[in-house]
Structure 1
Amino acid sequence: MTELSRRLVETTDGLRLAVYEQGPADAETVVLVHGYPDNHSVWDGAAAALAARFHVVAYDVRGTGESEAPDSTAGYRLAQLSDDFRSVIDAVSPDAPVHVAAHDWGSIQTWESVTSPSLSSRISSYTSISGPDLGMATTWLRERGHARSSLRQLAHSWYVFAFQLPLLPEAMVRSGVLSRFVGGRPRPERDQVNGVELYRANFLGKLVRPEPRSTDVPVQVLAPRDDAYVTVPLQTEAPKAYASSLVTKAIDGGHWVVEKSPDLVADEIAAFIEGAGAR
């Protein structure tokens, strides 16, 4: 397989996810997971670069792009998102573990799989960009010794609390306020509205009971220096106590570095996969 192809994968709760593949079918598989308010296309540039060497898979997370959406907030909980990831990799790489790279909410949800005792053996390496594990992040924010960094991160995260409110986020989307806040290319209104449920389904529970889990999967954290939403200290320091094989690196760029600098991101992912960090 060298050209882009599309298939539908059914989830454990009966939804269909749109999954896109390119690159040689017999090469190692790299799965790319997008965040909010994007769909799989945010990875297009990096996916094309990686497809010269890898079997590259990207998919529209539930509620976005060409994938179906659940009919309740509960359908966006982390455990279900992890089940979706399992369904995808079972379909595209049933007999071999995969490498994963994820951005923003894609990264947050992928930590759930990377730290899952029943799923981590299916993952050979993980590159996280601009999306910390919620349990690790909450624990780090509560620790003493870096109060200034914690307060700075909370200031960056004001929208997380706004998204818990009824009606307001949807009004922000439909008025165009959220698009102006996010910046960059236009995003479909459907993706923006549905994605708010990710915040409602998961954040408050993790704030009350963070319960971070550990992992032995080789992890690379790429932290954009000019990220407007996730600070470098949170990205690089929060996982230290939980990832036994961790590499962290600050890179040039803002929050949407995966789209703005796809070759840089692809090179960093490929180097980590091919280096000693990946098993």
Structure 2
Amino acid sequence: MSHTSAAEAAAAPRLRYAATADGLRLAVREHGDPAAPTLLCVHGYPDDSSVWDGVAARLADRYHVVAYDVRGAGASTAPRHRSGYALDRLADDMARVARAASPGGPVHLLAHDWGSIAAWHAVTDERHAPAFASYTSISGPCLDHAALWLRSRLRPSPRALRAFADQAVRSGYIAFFHLPVLPELAWLTGAGGAVLGALDRIGRPPAGSPPPRRALRDHLNGLGLYRENFRPRLRAPAERRTAVPVQVLLPADEVFMTEGAQTAAARWTEDFRAVPVEGGHWMPRSRPGAVAERVDAFVRGLGAAGPR
């Protein structure tokens, strides 16, 4: 990856493609100077890498911001079989993009929703963890940690059972996504999009927030994420640990995750910080300034990025 001039660094994002272990092509967009510390951004479902545009615009003057369309989304190719959406595949993709973007050292990781779920899988895998200097997670837990936390709530305690019930209600859509045909019909008929649009507005997004850029293909392909990964993790969760420093941003108006499920990872993380923030589930798009500020403060606090 060649270095660029200051003028080139300030220009439009640079597009390249990265190859996965199973022959897919991932569309990767880079902002800023490749000589700066690298921040790798990973989107969730049913978004593409454009969800990070506002964050990249605020950080590209001091970071090499890299965002990619995950397999099956945006301009990236999709696996032919559902097994291609397994978390091991997603984590391997992430580590490959990280090492290509920053061959000289680890990257700082920022992820949202399903990107965050996959990022947890990457930083808790000893093969991939060295590729990451820090990790900021938004609205997406480690599935293993969440499953272990849910099991711990199933005890004769009203408080614990209320916590279990609260998260179960918030996660009801996951059971729906496992049904045959009906989820596809919801997206094809527009009913699912109407519900998603209403959820987008929770968290009082500021006036002028950009609309989401989502394609029907992304909605349909991404169902494989749920169908391939949830049952195995719920049946046999592992105690996945990491030494990568982690901060979890806790949106005040998060609709899908309880605070308990999001902070359950503290038990398995050597350096863990939970930070309450204003906003809803899609705050990377609706409140990019807040996300950029928290990520920059976290990285600077680790001594990893000085002023440019």
- Same fold by TM-score, threshold 0.5 exceeded? yes
**Take 2:44 and 2:289, find their aligned partners in 1: how far apart are those partners?**
19
Q: Helix, strand or coil for the counterpart of 1:143?
A: helix
Q: Which runs of 5+ in 2 are unaligned?
A: 201-211
**Take 2:191 and 2:239, find their aligned partners in 1: how far apart are those partners?**
34
Q: Is 1:169 equivalent to 2:191 in the alignment?
A: no
**Take 1:82 and 1:254, find their aligned partners in 2: how far apart are those partners?**
26
**Take 1:90 and 1:234, find their aligned partners in 2: how far apart are those partners?**
30
Larger Rg: 2
Q: Which shows bigger deviation, 81-90 or 21-30?
A: 81-90
The corresponding residue for 1:158 is: 172
**Take 1:186 and 1:242, find their aligned partners in 2: how far apart are those partners?**
35
Q: 1:181-196 to 2 correspondence within 5 Å?
A: 181-183=195-197, 184=200, 185=212, 187-196=214-223
Identity of paired residues, percent? 46
CA 1:255 to 1:74, structure 2 compared with 1: closer, same or farther past 3 Å?
A: same
Residue in structure 2 matching 1:102, options 111, 128, 131: 111
Letter of the structure 1 residue corresponding to residue 217 of structure 2: R
The corresponding residue for 2:194 is: 180
Q: Is 1:254 equivalent to 2:280 in the alignment?
A: yes
Contact 1:139 1:210 survives alignment (8 Å): yes
The corresponding residue for 2:297 is: 271
Letter of the structure 2 residue corresponding to residue 147 of structure 1: L
Residue in structure 1 matching 2:63, options 54, 67, 70: 54
**Take 1:132 and 1:277, find their aligned partners in 2: how far apart are those partners?**
26
CA 1:158 to 1:278, structure 2 compared with 1: closer, same or farther past 3 Å?
A: farther
CA displacement at 1:227 relative to structure 2:
0.8
The corresponding residue for 1:208 is: 235
Contact 2:87 2:121 survives alignment (8 Å): yes
Contact 1:245 1:277 survives alignment (8 Å): no
The corresponding residue for 2:162 is: 148
**Normalising by the residue count of structure 1, what TM-score does the alignment of the two structures yield?**
0.97
Q: How many residue pairs align between the two structures?
A: 278
Q: Which shows bigger deviation, 160-169 or 123-132?
A: 160-169
CA displacement at 1:278 relative to structure 2:
6.2
The corresponding residue for 1:120 is: 129
The corresponding residue for 2:78 is: 69
Q: Which shows bigger deviation, 49-58 or 183-192?
A: 183-192
Deviation string 1:133-168 (CA, Å, 9 cap, x unpaired) is 000001001114522112101100001111111111
After TM superposition, where is structure 1 displaced by more than 4 Å over at least 4 residues in a row? none
Q: Helix, strand or coil for the counterpart of 1:220?
A: strand
**Take 1:37 and 1:14, find their aligned partners in 2: how far apart are those partners?**
22
Q: Which shows bigger deviation, 125-134 or 207-216?
A: 207-216
**Take 2:302 and 2:103, find their aligned partners in 1: how far apart are those partners?**
24
CA displacement at 1:91 relative to structure 2:
1.5
The corresponding residue for 1:235 is: 262
**Normalising by the residue count of structure 2, what TM-score does the alignment of the two structures yield?**
0.88
**Take 1:104 and 1:212, find their aligned partners in 2: how far apart are those partners?**
21
Contact 2:99 2:106 survives alignment (8 Å): no
